Amino acid sequence: MNNNKQEIYLSARNVTKIFGMGNTRTVAVDDVNLNLRKGEVISIVGESGSGKTTLAKILLGLINETEGEIYFQGEKRKIRTQGQKREYWRNIQAIFQDPFSSFNIFNKIDSVLLDCINMRGGRRLPKAEKVAMMTEACSFVNLKFEELTNKYPFELSGGQQQRLMIARVFLLKPKILVADEPTSMIDACSRATILDMLMQLRDEEGMTVIFITHDIGLAYYVSDNVYIMEHGRFVEGGPAEDVIIHPQHDYTKRLLNDVPKIYEEWDLSTV
Amino acid sequence: MSRPILEVRELTTKYITRFQEDIYAVDHVSLTVEEGKSLGIAGESGCGKSTLALSLMGYYFPPLHYSSGEIIIDGRNITGMDPDDVRRSILGKEVAYIPQAAMNALNPTQKVISFIEDVVRAHNPKASKQEIYELARDRFEMLGLPAEVLQKHPVELSGGMKQRTVIAVSVILGPKVLIADEPSSALDVTSQKMVIKMLRDMMESGFIKAMLFITHELPLLYNVTDDIMVMYAGQLVERAPAEKAVFDPLHPYSKGLMGSIIVPEEGLREHKLAAIPGTPPNLKNPPKGCRFAPRCRYVRPECTTLSVPLRRVEDERTYRCIIPEAELREIYAHEQQ
């Protein structure tokens, strides 16, 4: 896999995360290796408790790894100080599962978006230009900026909030986006819209996306490479076509077997 | 044609907001579920599927209010019954309801068995501990759950096990109709499969006579229910046997819904997901004419003025669109090319 000449943006080497000690010692992420190339979409698939969100948080720099290293653009990642963290987060951003708790409830929507512009160094831009940028971001996600000013995030529906989250990402233009179950709290029709927008970000902005999901069908649909995670370990990984259509590992086979299908018979006898 | 267990005629229920506005979340919905059959209800969030489920029990609490229509369960008309009577003689005995977060119903400080005692005694105050235990044990064994669960506290059970426990408890009085509102959406795939298997077993053994299954996961509905009913903005827009609803939908909205199905099967990556543009209408003042018209790709001038009746095609199929079946099929066939 490493003979690919494309630039490796982010790589995790032997990353391990252990919570607690003694009796409560839990290995959440166990010796994980991961390489992420520019413009690639990878999915990390696992059941609840498999450690996929912990891994995402480590990659985001929200929690520290117990062992192993994270390399960012070829160099070892340094996020000791607040300044270093802020610099790192210019490059990597996240969308979380629960849109309802992703926003500061005291901030109005335009100030949420304004913060993003300021973070990108647009603090001194004229107001009209800022408004134009916010309008563009909102129209990217099919929201109307005029209707959103003076509203608070809780006045929007879940799907709209999730789209607003994507508008933030559109303004921030990070190099890497970590999407942690971005569609599991919204219904199937809005899901297609959200996925389309993420794909558009990849195609137009060249964004690299790490998609974290328990939905193996979703992973197959969006990603170039899929990694299957069980008890903190990657049990299988590779191009989506290989992993999902021709699974090798028993765990992957079991997961696939448990998903309801429409073209094949869904075997209920094997529970 | 076998005996209808659940019959709903032109049911309309509304929410009354604190500004005294009426919001009709279920608007003239009629449906019949025959003995041994299951019906799936699909639709976007906010289309009224959960409100329909609540309304079907005949037990209304503010802000939900009954407006018009009839509900008949196994020949017994429960419309207009006193809420207390409904609670005592209908809920749990005739109709059981499983909400999405069913597992939160368990009291963390009580063992499962004392929870069951409460449920049974609410309907039959004289039941002895021994009777209840035997009833619960038999029921749990029948549903494939270990009897040890009864003596455990909820924290000792996994999420899937909790969900199955609550389902088993909700059917402890032997209801005829089971309404399951997203019973598996908070679970991972393996637990989901166990819940589905349990529901299917209950149907197959004839323990539950009719089931309503509500979810937005279409592949799941396709595998669980006999018929699928699609709701949009409080109205029924299409009802068809599951096979036809998924592979040969008629209504443009159902067509859009089926286009958003994601399954890990070969060929998925080639077809592009078709998202339906726009958002569902605000039910405070729904659009005149067809409610889907503002988002419909095949909209015609008359769509926004004429009211659209349900069309009946074949035996078991209905849909709500002004375009006749043959013409719709022609449009879809043309689009495929």
pLDDT in tens, B272-295: 777 787 778 888 888 888 999 888
**B170 in any annotated domain:** yes
Nearest Cα to A266, choosing from B285, B140, B189, B13?
B189
DSSP state letters, B175-206: -SEEEEESTTTTS-HHHHHHHHHHHHHHHHTT
| Same-domain pairing of B219 and B113 | no
In a domain, B144, yes or no: yes
| Inter-chain CB proximity A221 and B277 less than 8 Å | no
Sequence letter at residue B23? I
Residues B197 and B218 in one domain: yes
Please tell me whether residue A186 adopts helix, strand or coil conformation.
coil
Distance CA A76, CA A68 (A): 11
Q: What is the three-class DSSP state of A28?
A: strand
Q: Is residue B141 part of a domain?
A: yes
- CB < 8 Å to A216, chain B: 189, 264
In a domain, B329, yes or no: no
CB contact under 8 A, A142 and B193: no
Residue A157 domain flag: no
Band the pLDDT of A233: cuts 50, 70, 90.
Answer: very high
Residue A28 placed within a domain: yes
For helices B112-123 and B129-142, what crossing angle results, to 10°?
110
Residue B289 placed within a domain? no
Domain co-membership, B19 together with B90:
yes
User: What DSSP character marks residue B50?
Assistant: H
Measured between alpha carbons, how far is A45 from B221 in angstroms, rounded to an integer? 23
Q: Which of B46, B220, B273 sits opposite A192 (nearest CB)?
A: B273
Q: Are A122 and A130 in contact (CB under 8 A)?
A: yes
For residue A244, the chain B residue with the least C-alpha distance is B264
Fill in the amino acid letter for B119: V
Q: CA B100, B101, B106 angle in degrees (round to 5)? A: 135
Average pLDDT rounded to a whole number, residues A49-74: 90
Provide the shortest C-alpha distance from residue A181 to chain B (in Å).
13
Closest residue in B to A264 (Cα–Cα): B265
CA distance B55 to B10: 12
| B220, B257, B268: residue with CB nearest A220 | B268
- What is the rounded CA–CA span in Å between residue B56 and residue B48? 12
Q: Are residues B212 and B228 in the same domain?
A: yes
Chain A contact present for B282, CB below 8 A: no
Q: Is B264 close to A216, i.e. CB distance below 8 A?
A: yes
DSSP 3-state of A11: strand
Q: Is B260 in contact with A262 (Cβ distance < 8 A)?
A: no
Residue of A nearest to B196 (CA): A268
> pLDDT per residue over B153-196, tens digit each?
999 888 888 888 999 998 888 899 999 998 887 788 888 888 89
| B216–A195 CB contact, under 8 Å | no
pLDDT over 70 percentage in chain A: 97
How far does A59 lie from chain B, in Å, by closest CA?
A: 24
Is the CB of residue A233 less than 8 Å from the CB of residue A261? no
Same domain for B181 and B90, yes or no, is yes
Token representation of residue A42: 């990878």
Mean pLDDT in chain A?
87
Distance, C-alpha A264 to centroid of its chain: 30
Q: Do A262 and B219 touch (CB under 8 A)?
A: yes
CATH value at residue B180: 3.40.50.300
**Closest Cβ–Cβ partner in B197, B265, B274 for A192:** B274
> What sign results for the dihedral spanned by CA atoms B140, B145, B146, B149?
negative
Percent of chain A at pLDDT exceeding 90: 32
- Strand B37-42 with B227-232, pairing: parallel
* Residue B179 forms part of a structural domain: yes
CATH of the domain at A242: 3.40.50.300
Per-10-residue mean pLDDT for chain B, 337 residues long? 87 90 90 92 86 87 88 88 85 88 86 91 88 91 88 88 90 91 83 89 89 89 92 92 90 87 78 76 86 89 86 86 90 85
Quick check: is B285 in a domain?
Answer: no
Distance, CA of B68 to CA of B54 (rounded, Å):
15
Residues 6 or more apart in contact with residue A63 via CB below 8 angstroms = A17, A54, A57
Does residue B87 share a domain with residue B9? Answer: yes
pLDDT of A100 above 80? yes
Q: Looking at the structure, tell me whether residues B15 and B60 fall in a common domain.
A: yes
Closest chain B residue to the Cα of A256, Cα to Cα: B264
Looking at residue A3, its pLDDT comes to 45
DSSP state of B6: E
Range of the domain at A21: 8-107+174-258
Q: Which amino acid is at B56?
A: L
pTM, rounded to two decimals: 0.84
The answer on pLDDT for A2 being more than 50 is no
Distance from C-alpha of B120 to C-alpha of B103, rounded to nearest angstrom: 18
- pLDDT bracket for residue A1 (50, 70, 90): very low
User: Which of these three, B154, B174, B194, is where a domain ends?
Assistant: B174
Contacts with A92 (C-beta within 8 Å, 6 or more apart), sequence order: A10, A59, A60, A61, A174, A175, A176, A177, A178
Same domain, B87 and B137: no
Host domain of residue B136: 104-174
In a domain, A264, yes or no: no
**CA closest to A214 among chain B residues:** B188
pLDDT digits (tens, 9 = 90+) for A120-168: 888 888 989 999 999 999 988 888 888 888 888 888 878 888 888 889 9
Q: Is B213 found in the same domain as B69?
A: yes
Choose from A245, A262, A265, A271 for mutation: most chain B CBs within 10 A: A262
Same domain, B184 and B80: yes
Residue A6's pLDDT band, with cuts at 50, 70 and 90, is low
| Whole-number Å distance between alpha carbons of B220 and B36 | 19
The verdict on B203 and B244 lying in the same domain is: yes
Q: How many domains in chain A?
A: 1
Contacts of B274 in chain A (CB under 8 A): 192
**What residues of chain A lie within 8 A of the CB of B264, using their CB?**
216-217, 219-220, 244, 256, 259, 261
**Residue B209 amino acid letter:** K
Count the domains in chain B. 2
- Cβ distance A266 to B276 less than 8 Å, yes or no, reads no
**Which residue in B197, B223, B269 is closest to A220 by CB distance?**
B269
Same domain, B89 and B148: no
Question: Quick check: is B140 in a domain?
Answer: yes
Distance CA(B181)–CA(B186), nearest Å, equals 11
- How far is A181 from A176, CA to CA, in rounded Å? 16
Q: What does the pLDDT read at residue A15?
A: 93
Preceding omega of B63 cis (within 30 degrees of 0): yes
B209-221 burial code (b ≥16 CB/10 A, e <16): bbbbbbbbbbbbb
Residue B206: left if φ>0, alpha if ψ -120 to 50, beta else—which one? left
CA B155 vs. chain centroid, Å, equals 29
Query: B336: part of which helix (H) or strand (E)?
Result: helix B325-336
**A15-37 core/surface letters (b: 16 or more CB in 10 A; e: else):** bbbeeeeeeeeebbbbebebbbb
Q: Is A2 left (phi over 0), alpha (psi -120 to 50) or beta?
A: alpha
Q: Look at residue A5 and tell me whether its pLDDT is greater than 90.
A: no
Judge contact between A248 and A236, C-beta under 8 A.
Answer: yes
pLDDT at A223 over 70: yes
> Cβ A218–B262 below 8 Å, yes or no?
yes
Single-letter amino acid code for the residue at A19 = F
Q: pLDDT digits over A67-96, tens only? A: 999 999 888 888 889 999 988 998 999 998
C-alpha separations of A98 from A71, A104, A161, A196 in Å = 29, 13, 9, 19
Q: Give residue B1's pLDDT.
A: 59
Are B189 and A142 in contact (CB < 8 Å)? no
Nearest chain A Cα distance for residue B216, angstroms: 6
Question: Could you report the predicted ipTM of this complex, rounded to two decimals?
Answer: 0.77
The pLDDT assigned to B12 comes to: 93
Distance in angstroms (rounded) separating the CA atoms of residues B184 and A184: 13
pLDDT tens profile A180-216? 888 877 777 778 888 888 888 888 888 999 999 888 8
In chain B, which residue's Cα lies nearest the Cα of A220? Answer: B264
Tell me, yes or no, whether A234 lies in a domain: yes
Which spans in A104-234 are helix H?
Answer: 109-119, 127-140, 145-148, 158-172, 188-205, 216-222
Written as one string, the DSSP assignment of B292-319 is TGGG-TT--GGGGTS--PPEEETTTEEE
